[in-house]
A and B are shown apart, each in its own frame.
Chain A
Amino acid sequence: MKFYIDNLPIVFPYDRIYPEQYAYMCDLKRTLDATGHCVLEMPSGTGKTVSLLSLIVSYQQFYPTRRKLVYCSRTVPEIEKALAELKRLMTYRLANAETEEQKEKERSYTGLGLTSRKNLCINPDVAKEKKGNVVDARCRDLTNSAACEKGRADPGSVPLCEWHENLGKLEQGNQIASGIWTLADIIEHGREKGICPYFAVRRMMPFVDVIIYSFHYLLDPKVADQVSKELSKDAIVVFDEAHNIDNVCIESLSIDLTRPMLDSATRSIGKIGERIEEIKTTDAAKLQDEYAKLVEGLQEAAEQRDTDDFMTNPLLPDDLLNEAVPGNIRKAEHFVAFLKWFVEYLKTRMRVLHVVAETPLSFLQHLKDITYIERRPLRFCAERLQSLVRTLELSRLDEHAALQKVATFATLVSTYERGFLLILEPFETDNATVPNPMFHFTCLDPSLAIKPVFERFSSVVITSGTISPLDMYPKMLQFTPVVQETYPMTLTRNSFLPLVITRGSDQVAISSRFEVRNDPAVVRNFGSILVEYSKIVPDGIVAFFPSYLYMESIVAAWNDMGILNEVWKNKLIFVETPDANETSIALENYRKACDNGRGAVLLSVARGKVSEGIDFDHNYGRAVIMFGVPYQYTESRILKARLEYLRDAYRIRESEFLGFDAMRNAAQCVGRVLRGKTDWGLMVFADKRFARADKRAKLPRWINQYITETASSLSTDMAITLSKLFMRTISQNPNENQTGVSLWTLEDVEKAQAKQRALALEAEQGHEDEAMDEDDEYGDGGISDNAIMEVDLDI
């Protein structure tokens, strides 16, 4: 269908549209018009991706500027899904274009997806490797410029990747024909034409209209520098599934060092030293050449870098220094010695048997006192190592990963003073006796990594199914959104039932609070919830625990109490473990059990793999039970440091952040069960703390609006009664027509627009005299929730 929002023609690839999709598009357009940022929350399974894409593509095609769209998603399947959706949209647009000119325009529209080499490589020698970084390293060996030069000059002397070579012969910007290419398409195309899909996408990036890739390509400075450097300033950046964006930001700037890593770094240093000696005897001029270049400064060195991404600078673009490498590390052997010193220093630090937390400044001071290593050379560590590696033409870079990490660490620790903390933890757990020291260099401020993105791009859209409370994200990430909106879900029947169980059938309050979590009464009541639900819920149940540790202890207790045997009578039990392979086998069997009617329970952990990336649609998840509030482990020193920082820097109270984090994870977990409007499921929150208003207020609006007063504090038996009734009702064959209420046809959209105009007119007349600034504030074309509600009632 095709309709207009203000003057912008929107092509939507379906005949019907959900009201919330329409509202979402309106708000999105407002953001783009204002060239600002926005935070939007839309219920999962209501076609977020398609509304986003169809609006932005319409926007791009309508306005001559053709702002590029950068769409960041979290996982490869999600990227693939978004690409498939885009492809469908473009086919629809092409079919519905009216004039030949428009058709041409649609045809020339190009969209690509980028993922790691591991997923895209088609060189059989390289692709057979299982580990991502090994694939990367082997690819670099075959494709770096030095090797290429040598190989081209003297064919056969060095192994080259023929796919990459073939690609080089193609004209820049023409490696791939225009159109939408999913990842599978591009691999297929690469095989056919004999070109490397990965580099084809990389080289095409400046020429495409849409690029879909993972968060890291934009947020992680190590990668962003190479991949996303050439994106123009007016690009529209979208972060989908962005509820964890702050953690991604923090992770991208944090480094953990362990003892084995340091040992490996020492070995690497030794190897590099040998190599230097070797080169000295054969090709001394080369080292001399490098030295000369370093004197001139890094800038030039960077220019010749071209597409070689041996390893990269971990710093954010603004923090890069544009000066020459200091003298004491210019010479290769000096630099190696310097590194050796530094690693030795770190090793000594690790011998300490008590916990140390210090700021980067105090670390540097101590370093200087002991080893006389200055701050300035440290800052160039990563850059210098990169140059050295290039000069020495080292291969199999993955073996030097540890050394790279150390260099990155050196650069980061010497560059940033604020927002970072060094923590040395000698023991893994509190009661371990064998030391296993871990040196954490943690970023405390998520806004650091994302700041360049906000500064560089004019429109950044942050969206997810569960991103409440909305005002938290702007606060944490330090930006001012133009639009900040959450949408309710319009449903013709209540397809999900959120219930808060605060006490067991014996009226004992249940909670995963630390003091009572192992109380037998609480454990038994948790168990009885599971047993009762396993009796009355068909097919699949997913149960979430706050942590692996707690899950283990409670499952053991249940085993002793015979609760597991009770559950076994009704359903099979699967458990998520930290091991990815084990979990995927468990998931596969869980699915099978749900399909053939045996029914299954999956015990998993909030923040685990299952809670983040796996959908439990339809029969795979008829009920999700949240045992306890998924607070983070508050004794963690990293978390403590982060909380302290948030309090000092942004005035976010500890409890506020913890509550927010727990609730967004809870929402994320329960949101897994509902993936569309035909889906239905139960959402059970089993903890008395969920009954508190401040906790519930942090749940997304579309969940919160269905928690009735009676359902907000139930005992187990009451909840079971309600659930039974709900399931009987929802199992009735749905025959009512959703059209008009939760599905809009073109007429409905127009009706809604007319209604909205009338409302706007009314409002204008209402405050004619004082409504000067109103328009500026709200822009145009936006539709308020109230308006939607009223429209709904009328239809």
Chain B
Amino acid sequence: MPPRKDADYMDIDSESDASIPDDDYGVGKSKGKSRAKAGDRRKDKGKAKAKENQPYTWEASYARSWETVQEDEAGSLQTSVEELLARGRRRRLLAPAAAVRRTIIRHLILLLDLSMSMLDRDMRPTRFDLMLQYAREFIVEWFDQNPLGQMGVVGMRAGLGERICEMSGNPQDVLKAISERHKLEPAGEPSLQNSIEMARSSMSHLPTHSSREILIIFGSLTTCDPGNIHDTLDSCVKNRIRVSVVALAAEMKICRELCDKTGGQFGVALNEGHFKDLLFELVPPPTQRALTRAAGAGISNPAADLMMMGFPTRLPDASPPSLCVCHSEMKSEGFLCPRCQAKICEAPTDCDICGLLIVSSPHLARSYHHLFPVKPYEAVMTLENGETAAPECHACSRPFPTSTSTTAGEGLSPVGRYRCLECRNEFCSDCDVFIHDVVHCCPGCGK
């Protein structure tokens, strides 16, 4: 649908399609006249025109984002925004509500494609820059949601797998490793096998209770492998490494196969926004696969697995400096392992001396919400008993809108109220989104 600007010029177009716009006064006058005449017809005419006004096919790759937004009668964008919101809500409603097993101690290797094909400009500014930008956002978000997780980065460039960042629990380390763009300049062809092997070997020592994942951002359509990639695939299946791929160009059979066989997700990005969506879908911890359960502990219920964890003592900044076990540096701040009293720079991590998993309690607490997500709120469709309804949002205390909106989509409340199923408190749409996406805890019932 055309933006407002189009609507204004519409009748000019309709009058003289082929003429080159010039500053001739007479023409301008006639334009004005016709506009006045066509005034009331403008609206439906504009609609008819929009149908013919399909973009040329070769323009199809340009994002015409303004066309997805549609004005309402009054010319405001409010409805469009609501529509977009509703879409988000609908997606959340589809998510399974039942409690699922999720791994909260995650190990992820981010595999970045650094081949020549990443210089393609079909995603703005280039695939490479976009990937780095989204990777940064992804890392921040990932560590935020998975405080117990650890992440490493491997790049594939010129037929090799390059270790860019060691497995680390500190988002700053990971971010620093990919911050230097000139070190990551794309070159050559990628090798899936080499880089997966490298990622696999850096995860081989990990204990069974943690998940091992590889996330590949793949822009290329070819892979130059030294051996048979199917062997690598088999060993990934054997080591229970979940491989997910976000492809930027098209579906490659081997990528699809990698994901299907290891239980990962496969997606092809349609455009920049979709790329980000696909990437961020991988932020919440995956539900544990049936395969793992069957192959895992086998006889015993895996729910009975207990894990040894240590909560470290945090040393105050003013404590006397001492050597840490991880970097052998003199530092005053750090954490003490509760079992062996070794000094460690950061948590969460595995103690280098006794191998104990060291976590702090806030980390555990933050990971908790994945296991018990806030149930989606139901949309209040009508105000059946107006006097008992709360006049304002339970969370932000802003009064609810009094008018009834006309746009009603699935999962979208026309009165702008969303009710928690547990405590029956009502929330505004902004709070609803905020609670589910950020807070992960219902302010009404505390669940």
Task: Show the binding face of A for B, using Cβ within 8 Å.
Answer: 535-539, 569-571, 594-599, 618-619, 622, 710-711, 714, 717-718, 721-722, 724-725, 727-733
B214 proximal to A (CB < 8 A): no
**Which one, B9-17, B131-139, B218-226, B399-407, is touching chain A?**
B218-226
A-B contact pairs, 28 of them (CB 8 A): A535-B221, A536-B249, A537-B221, A538-B221, A538-B249, A538-B252, A538-B253, A539-B252, A569-B189, A595-B230, A595-B254, A596-B223, A596-B225, A596-B228, A596-B230, A597-B222, A597-B223, A597-B253, A597-B255, A599-B221, A619-B252, A714-B57, A718-B58, A721-B60, A722-B57, A724-B122, A725-B61, A730-B251
Extra contacts, 8 of them, besides A536-B249, A597-B229, A729-B270 (Cβ < 8 A), are: A536-B221, A539-B253, A598-B224, A598-B225, A599-B221, A622-B250, A722-B58, A724-B61
Quick check: A597 and B225 within 8 Å, CB to CB? yes
B269 proximal to A (CB < 8 A): yes
| Contact count A vs B, C-beta below 8 Å | 90
Quick check: A619 and B61 within 8 Å, CB to CB? no
**What residues on A are CB-neighbors of B255 within 8 Å?**
597
A535 to B229, CA, bound (A): 21
Chain B window 264-308, contacts with chain A (Cβ cutoff 8 Å), 1 for yes, 0 for no:
001111100000000000000000000000000000000000000
B192 proximal to A (CB < 8 A): yes
* From B116, B230, B249, B250, residue with most partner A Cβ within 10 Å: B250
**What residues on B are CB-neighbors of A537 within 8 Å?**
221, 250
Task: Show the binding face of B for A, using Cβ within 8 Å.
Answer: 57-58, 60-61, 116-117, 122, 189, 192, 221-225, 228-230, 247, 249-255, 266-270
**What residues on A are CB-neighbors of B254 within 8 Å?**
595-597
User: Smallest CB–CB gap between A535 and chain B, Å?
Assistant: 7
**What residues on B are CB-neighbors of A539 within 8 Å?**
221, 252-253
**What residues on B are CB-neighbors of A714 within 8 Å?**
57
A725 to B61, CA, bound (A): 7
A597 and B57 in contact, given A571-B222, A728-B269, A729-B270 (Cβ under 8 angstroms): no
Closest A residue to B59 by CB, please name it: A721
A731 and B60 in contact, given A597-B222, A599-B222 (Cβ under 8 angstroms): no
**What residues on A are CB-neighbors of B60 within 8 Å?**
721-722, 725
A619 and B249 in contact, given A569-B189, A598-B225, A732-B270 (Cβ under 8 angstroms): no
User: Smallest CB–CB gap between A776 and chain B, Å?
Assistant: 45
Quick check: B270 and A728 within 8 Å, CB to CB? yes
Contact of A598 among B61, B222, B251, B269 (CB under 8 A): B222
Quick check: B229 and A596 within 8 Å, CB to CB? yes
A714 to B117, CA, bound (A): 25
A598 to B228, CA, bound (A): 11
**What residues on B are CB-neighbors of A733 within 8 Å?**
266-267
User: Smallest CB–CB gap between B367 and chain A, Å?
Assistant: 28
Closest A residue to B252 by CB, please name it: A538
Contact of B250 among A570, A571, A728 (CB under 8 A): A728
**What residues on A are CB-neighbors of B116 within 8 Å?**
569
**What residues on B are CB-neighbors of A718 within 8 Å?**
57-58
**What residues on A are CB-neighbors of B228 within 8 Å?**
596
User: Smallest CB–CB gap between B234 and chain A, Å?
Assistant: 13
**What residues on B are CB-neighbors of A595 within 8 Å?**
230, 253-254
Closest B residue to A680 by CB, please name it: B251
A728 to B60, CA, bound (A): 12
A622 to B229, CA, bound (A): 20
**What residues on B are CB-neighbors of A536 within 8 Å?**
221, 249-250
Interface residue SS majority, chain A: helix
User: Smallest CB–CB gap between B424 and chain A, Å?
Assistant: 34
Quick check: B250 and A538 within 8 Å, CB to CB? yes
**What residues on A are CB-neighbors of B269 within 8 Å?**
728
The 3 closest A-B pairs by CB, nearest first: A619-B253, A597-B254, A731-B251
User: Smallest CB–CB gap between B228 and chain A, Å?
Assistant: 7
Closest B residue to A715 by CB, please name it: B58
**What residues on A are CB-neighbors of B221 within 8 Å?**
535-539, 570, 599
User: Smallest CB–CB gap between B395 and chain A, Å?
Assistant: 34
Closest A residue to B225 by CB, please name it: A596
**What residues on A are CB-neighbors of B249 within 8 Å?**
536, 538, 724, 727-728
User: Smallest CB–CB gap between A214 and chain B, Å?
Assistant: 33
User: Smallest CB–CB gap between A682 and chain B, Å?
Assistant: 10
A539 to B192, CA, bound (A): 14
Quick check: B230 and A721 within 8 Å, CB to CB? no
A721 and B223 in contact, given A537-B250, A538-B250, A569-B189 (Cβ under 8 angstroms): no
Closest A residue to B122 by CB, please name it: A724
* From A571, A597, A728, A732, residue with most partner B Cβ within 10 Å: A597
**What residues on A are CB-neighbors of B57 within 8 Å?**
710-711, 714, 718, 721-722
User: Smallest CB–CB gap between A691 and chain B, Å?
Assistant: 15
User: Smallest CB–CB gap between A81 and chain B, Å?
Assistant: 23
**What residues on A are CB-neighbors of B268 within 8 Å?**
727-728, 731-732
A598 and B270 in contact, given A721-B58, A722-B57, A728-B250 (Cβ under 8 angstroms): no
A76 to B189, CA, bound (A): 41
**What residues on A are CB-neighbors of B224 within 8 Å?**
598
**What residues on B are CB-neighbors of A569 within 8 Å?**
116, 189
* From A538, A570, A714, residue with most partner B Cβ within 10 Å: A538
A722 to B122, CA, bound (A): 12
A714 to B228, CA, bound (A): 39
**What residues on B are CB-neighbors of A732 within 8 Å?**
267-268, 270
A598 to B224, CA, bound (A): 6
**What residues on A are CB-neighbors of B267 within 8 Å?**
732-733
A38 to B256, CA, bound (A): 43
User: Smallest CB–CB gap between A778 and chain B, Å?
Assistant: 38
**What residues on B are CB-neighbors of A622 within 8 Å?**
250
A597 and B192 in contact, given A536-B250, A619-B253, A733-B267 (Cβ under 8 angstroms): yes
A599 to B250, CA, bound (A): 13
A535 to B127, CA, bound (A): 15
A619 to B251, CA, bound (A): 9
User: Smallest CB–CB gap between A679 and chain B, Å?
Assistant: 12
Closest B residue to A539 by CB, please name it: B253
Closest A residue to B227 by CB, please name it: A596
A537 to B228, CA, bound (A): 22
Quick check: A717 and B58 within 8 Å, CB to CB? yes
User: Smallest CB–CB gap between B401 and chain A, Å?
Assistant: 35
**What residues on B are CB-neighbors of A619 within 8 Å?**
252-253
**What residues on B are CB-neighbors of A538 within 8 Å?**
221, 249-253
**What residues on A are CB-neighbors of B229 within 8 Å?**
596-597
A630 to B82, CA, bound (A): 55
User: Smallest CB–CB gap between B60 and chain A, Å?
Assistant: 5
A599 to B249, CA, bound (A): 14
* From A570, A710, A731, residue with most partner B Cβ within 10 Å: A731
User: Smallest CB–CB gap between B50 and chain A, Å?
Assistant: 18
User: Smallest CB–CB gap between A621 and chain B, Å?
Assistant: 11
A538 to B256, CA, bound (A): 12
Closest A residue to B222 by CB, please name it: A599
Closest A residue to B223 by CB, please name it: A597
Closest A residue to B188 by CB, please name it: A569
User: Smallest CB–CB gap between B8 and chain A, Å?
Assistant: 28
User: Smallest CB–CB gap between B304 and chain A, Å?
Assistant: 35
Closest B residue to A726 by CB, please name it: B250
A377 to B285, CA, bound (A): 89
A462 to B340, CA, bound (A): 83
A537 to B252, CA, bound (A): 9
Closest A residue to B249 by CB, please name it: A536
Closest B residue to A714 by CB, please name it: B57
A104 to B136, CA, bound (A): 71
A618 and B253 in contact, given A710-B57, A721-B61, A731-B247 (Cβ under 8 angstroms): yes
**What residues on B are CB-neighbors of A599 within 8 Å?**
221-222, 252
Closest B residue to A717 by CB, please name it: B58
A570 to B222, CA, bound (A): 6
A721 to B120, CA, bound (A): 13
Closest A residue to B61 by CB, please name it: A721
User: Smallest CB–CB gap between A120 and chain B, Å?
Assistant: 35
User: Smallest CB–CB gap between A499 and chain B, Å?
Assistant: 10
